[in-house]
Amino acid sequence: MVWDNNDRQRIYSGMQPSGVVHLGNYLGALTNWVHLQDDYNCIYCIVDLHALTVRSDGAQFRRKCRELFAMIMAVGVDPARSVLYVQSQVAEHSELAWIFNCYTYMGELGRMTQYKEKSQKHEDNINAGLFTYPVLQAADILLYKTNYVPIGEDQRQHLELSRDLAERFNKVYGEVFAVPDILVPKVGARIKSLQEPEKKMSKSDTSGDGAIIYLTDSPAAIRSKIKKAVTDSDARVAHSPDKPGVSNLLDIYAGVKRITIENALSEIGQCSYGALKEAVADAVAAELEPITQRYNDILADKAAMEDTMHSNAARAKTIAAATMRQVRKKLGLL
């Protein structure tokens, strides 16, 4: 396998097919996924099993998985260099998740912020999958003997559990799993809602579409959303906790331009809020336009995408199955 160069360490990350990819996903995770391909063996996953904690119609679910696959390719993940696959097509994830369930404590899962938030939001459907979600995530990561996991800040607690499980298992059975480290971007690790800048930009935001920039938004939609973004009454551009709206716009600008906050401030720090918003909107629209174009082209060739999906699942399965053979042997499973 050409991609799996032994001199390189392994990267693993995943994304839920639970809606259209937004700018938070892009700046917090995807841009990192793309450039890491130059230096690591990368494995990226559409984590459809994770998304089952929320009810969805089958046909719509399938469509969302395909769209996410196409979008990840459109931003620049190359399935010939990296592995890009769908979680449910590699059954080993579910198998290892069950085993890890038996090594994870209720207290550890009960402390998870995401579980607490999601069970408040979905009071009518607090299923066991929501509770054991981080265990499946640990299985995803550890199956591939991952060294680094590029994710946004909101996933830090889940990664800690993956590390703990790797160490716990290794302590009993010897070195089976690599203990993964987190990789969060310097800029863009926590992009906020445009309407409620104290909260993260999230697919499940209830304050409406104006709060979220989707990667498929037209330049006009991007401009209109950014123009209406909440700022504050003191018209001074600064990056500070008491100015969450303006700080978020600076994060977005620096993220899409791949510059530091200091450089962003020297470029647009003297602007009025109106001019600041215009500069941010221009930068975002310029970044996303070619991505949307590629996304539409990839989606148009369904057969080619389906082929890529299946051949990549087979590549992932080879690695996952080898790890599972080791795990089964250690546990004494016949």
- Residues near ligand TYM (CB under 6 A) are 12-16, 24-25, 27-29, 47, 50, 137, 140-141, 149, 151-152, 154-155, 158, 189-191, 200-202
Identify the CA nearest to 131 among candidates 116, 141, 146: 116
Instruction: Pick between residue 25 and residue 82 the one whose CB is nearest to ligand TYM.
Output: 25
Least gap, CB of 49 to ligand TYM (angstroms): 9
Catalytic site residue from 118, 145, 225, 257: 118
Catalytic annotation present for 118: yes
Catalytic annotation present for 257: no
Identify the CA nearest to 85 among candidates 309, 298, 321: 309
| 332 secondary structure, DSSP code | T
- CA-angle at 129, arms to 51 and 161, nearest 5°: 95
Catalytic site residue from 64, 145, 199, 200: 200
Instruction: Pick between residue 22 and residue 243 the one whose CB is nearest to ligand TYM.
Output: 22
Instruction: Pick between residue 75 and residue 151 the one whose CB is nearest to ligand TYM.
Output: 151
Identify the CA nearest to 41 among candidates 13, 72, 74: 13
Cα-based distances in Å from 323 to 56, 101, 214: 32, 17, 37
Least gap, CB of 4 to ligand TYM (angstroms): 18
Distance CA 68, CA 20 (A): 7
In this structure, what token pair is assigned to residue 237? 């551009």
Order of strands across the sheet that contains 10-15: 83-86, 41-46, 10-15, 148-150, 181-183
Least gap, CB of 53 to ligand TYM (angstroms): 10
Q: Which helix (H) or strand (E) holds 81?
A: none
DSSP string, 220-283: HHHHHHHHT----SS-----STT-HHHHHHHHHHHHHHT--HHHHHHHHTTS-HHHHHHHHHHH
**DSSP E strand boundaries for the chain:** 10-15, 41-46, 83-86, 148-150, 181-183
Least gap, CB of 272 to ligand TYM (angstroms): 26
Q: Which helix (H) or strand (E) holds 179?
A: none
Least gap, CB of 200 to ligand TYM (angstroms): 4
Instruction: Pick between residue 157 and residue 271 the one whose CB is nearest to ligand TYM.
Output: 157
Catalytic site residue from 199, 203, 317, 330: 203
Instruction: Pick between residue 44 and residue 273 the one whose CB is nearest to ligand TYM.
Output: 44
Q: Which residues contact 279 (CB under 8 A, 6 or more apart)?
A: 253, 267, 268, 271
Identify the CA nearest to 146 among candidates 173, 126, 165: 165
Least gap, CB of 220 to ligand TYM (angstroms): 23
Instruction: Pick between residue 146 and residue 231 the one whose CB is nearest to ligand TYM.
Output: 146
**Residues involved in catalysis:** 118, 200, 203
